[in-house]
Structure 1
């Protein structure tokens, strides 16, 4: 059966997606009250659903529209707030599979990376929390997959799809803008390379197509704001409103107990308690903490990809390594007064790509099954941390101490 699945990559992807969706749905109603930044985005989604007035105007509308759709379809309940987030989490897993399949064309490599994404812990938590990050991860991952797909044929159509997905990603959060710029640079490099990765589509039409569609999609995501009962958006205010958003996003904020610097995120120095209090009669907790095996092992994998990519002239390996480096480097220059560990969500996904790529590059001979050995501690750690990443019932208020490896995790 396994040999048959190797020859049917998208059947494998569908099976992994089903497992991921079940995992994300299990216990979705826990906690039964708003947690962490849900207190901002769920009320904003309610206001958007009612088309009442502008709310949470420092971020675009796409993620809040999905939360609002969940409320409309499933009620103003924890399931309604979070249901579309689980689908976005599953889409992220599929996006990881697609990226690896397009880069390496090896179903075991793609399945391994997708499995890591499912078990990296941050994706589970974000998929079950009504915030922005899971939608940002889904659209960005799928957009990159579509961009890679456009290099395989039918470039205009597939590049348009990628541009739409990138526009939606920016419509979730402006943190996707550097990826749009990176895609533009990839287009320039790909057209200048002797292999010409987008044959039949010259450089300037390709850039124009990509830029116009991505920007147009982003601006179109503000359509609901034109129908607010109070202070509706107008065409003349659409561009000035972007300036207002920038001013809100770059304002100086008061210190926060969970703030952290970008360089600390890969080291797991300061995770975030999204929730820790009694809920439905029992103590529950949700700690945004990446799987240590993936988060720390992934750093070695990034270095391995960069080294192998340089030595072997492998564009795929080098690209995977640079994707993670770039995703972290942008936070060193983005003018944000405060940083938080959840900003590392996209980077944590790219670590899964790097691990799959590194094992593919180096696991040869008697180490051919090294990825399976690595998967064991990943799974064990996921099970070990599951009670405090899933809001499972805990024994009491001090139960969290069992999982506190570092004082900074408290």
Structure 2
């Protein structure tokens, strides 16, 4: 039996969402300067951010500029040290948590479900780890998620302003990493399908106008992020080179790369077969480790929630159940298609966060049958967070072999 519809008890859910984002920001900032050396792919993106800060010339040319520009902003604001490296990532992580709250609230209309989704995202490990490292994917998801939020809201109330803002955010997500580009096409297909089913809705958004705005605004937002490159001291960008540069990026991203210790296939990510140790070495006076691993309760339970959402949609035709399941499937399916020679678990980052939305929507939908199991589920996720906390936070470990405590399977080493 589906949970009956209830009126929203919080008159200003946006205020609660902002409070959650602030709490997440404080959590992500705590000891963010540990370790005081670059971690994992920070060794690539920090030099690129310094080049953008100084406008010295192109660097890390296989990816667009926006995420590196935001890291450079952190260097400007807080200096070229651990806080400056990671400060803007904490902001993106907090925005991601708020985005989970907002999207879940839009899908369910209930604050309890939205709060559950936000808490599961915090306890899911992946947002916490990515919010404390200077990597592109952190910024990608923040823009992507809020783009989805605004486009979803626009499809509900016909707001042209929200549609334009959502399109711009999808363009900015693509300006972090190209993997966000398929979501623009997905938004277009979704709008056309919904408009066909309910043509009287969204009087301010005809199909042609909506698609033109979606494509035009997202493309414009993407290319605007290249403006700083026109002011490089060495090899400045020109209008003539802007489009050929996109092809150069494509060639760099699709080139054949050598074997990597942590490479993995896309189908292994939902099963948690090959996580990544971002750090495991003596640093700052102690043995420390940071593992990018999803909380097993959220990752494996989320797969059951996705299946339940699909089943509920087949049985009842509920769009609110279908949406999070399709989001997760799309986020994983992209990597089964795109021409990348290597895959890594951090590519699963967006999909891992969509699982918290699927879980909260499923728990809300079947709450009449499940009772207070959402609280019990949160307690399980919290208990696992406490268990893995030392290797999520780079806390001092007892000795060099301490990793065995958290590596449940040989492939986690």
TM-score, L = length of structure 2: 0.96
* Aligned-partner Cα distance in 2 for 1:331–1:344: 9
2:388 is equivalent to residue 375 of structure 1? no
- 1:304 matched to 2:301: no
Instruction: Determine the C-alpha separation between the residues in 2 that align with 1:113 and 1:197.
Output: 28
SS in 1 for 2:281: strand
Aligned to 1:399: 402
Where does residue 264 of structure 1 map in the other structure? 268
1:7 and 1:107 in contact (8 A); partners too: no
State the partner residue of 2:3: none
Measure, in 2, the Cα distance between the counterparts of 1:49 and 1:194.
48
How many angstroms does 1:316 deviate by? 1.3
Map of 1:126 onto structure 2 = 130
Among candidates 264, 276, 287, match of residue 280 of structure 2: 276
1:240-262 deviations in Å (ceiling 9; x for gaps): 11111000000000000100000
Of 113, 118, 123 in structure 2, the residue corresponding to residue 114 of structure 1 is 118
Q: Is the 8 A contact 2:107 2:361 kept in 1?
A: no
Tell whether the 8 Å contact from 2:184 to 2:214 is kept in structure 1 after alignment: no
On the 8 A contact 2:63/2:249 being kept in 1, the answer is yes
Aligned alpha-carbon RMSD (Å): 1.3
Judged with a 3 Å threshold, the aligned counterparts in structure 2 of structure 1 residues 284 and 169 are, in CA distance, closer, same or farther, namely same
| 1:409 paired residue number | 412
Q: Answer whether contact 1:155 1:199 (CA < 8 A) is retained.
A: no
Q: Does residue 202 of the first structure (1) align with residue 199 of the second (2)?
A: no
2:313 maps to 1:327: no
- Residues 219-228 or 9-18, more deviating: 9-18
1:85 aligns with 2:89: yes
- Cα distance in 2 for partners of 1:180, 1:152 equals 18
2:216 aligned with 1:241, yes or no?
no
State TM-score, norm by structure 1.
0.97
CA distance in 2, matches of 1:238, 1:128: 32
Partner of 2:4: none
**In the alignment, is the contact (CA less than 8 A) between 2:90 and 2:132 conserved in 1?**
yes
Could you tell me how far apart the structure 1 residues matched to 2:251 and 2:237 are?
Answer: 18
Aligned mates of 1:371, 1:114 — CA distance in 2: 13
**Aligned counterparts of 1:217 and 1:8: Cα–Cα separation in 2:** 30
Query: Residue 6 of structure 1 contacts residue 107 of structure 1 at CA under 8 Å; is this kept in 2?
Result: yes
* Distance change in 2, residues 1:349/1:180 (3 Å): same
User: Cα 1:177–1:197, aligned 2, differ >3 Å: closer, same or farther?
Assistant: farther
Q: CA–CA distance in 2 between the matches of 1:196 and 1:123?
A: 39
- Superposed CA offset, 1:258-311 (max 9, x none): 000000000000000101111111111100011000000000000000110121
SS class of match (2:273) = coil
Contact 2:55 2:229 in 1 (8 A): yes
The separation in 2 between residues aligned to 1:328 and 1:370, in whole angstroms, is 28
- Answer yes or no: is 1:147 the counterpart of 2:151: yes
Quote the offset at 1:195 in angstroms: 5.6
Q: Give the Å deviation of 1:13.
A: 1.5
Question: Runs of 5+ in structure 2 lacking a partner?
Answer: 1-6
Q: Distance in 1 between matches of 2:205 and 2:334?
A: 30
Partners of 1:172 and 1:185 in 2: how far apart?
23
Q: 1:151 to 1:47 in 2, by over 3 A?
A: same
Aligned to 1:17: 21
**CA displacement, residues 151-209 of structure 1 (integer Å, 9 cap, x when unaligned):** 23352111000011001000000010111111111121122122644222211111001
| CA distance in 1: counterparts of 2:15 and 2:71, whole angstroms | 29
Counterpart of 1:69 in structure 2 is: 73
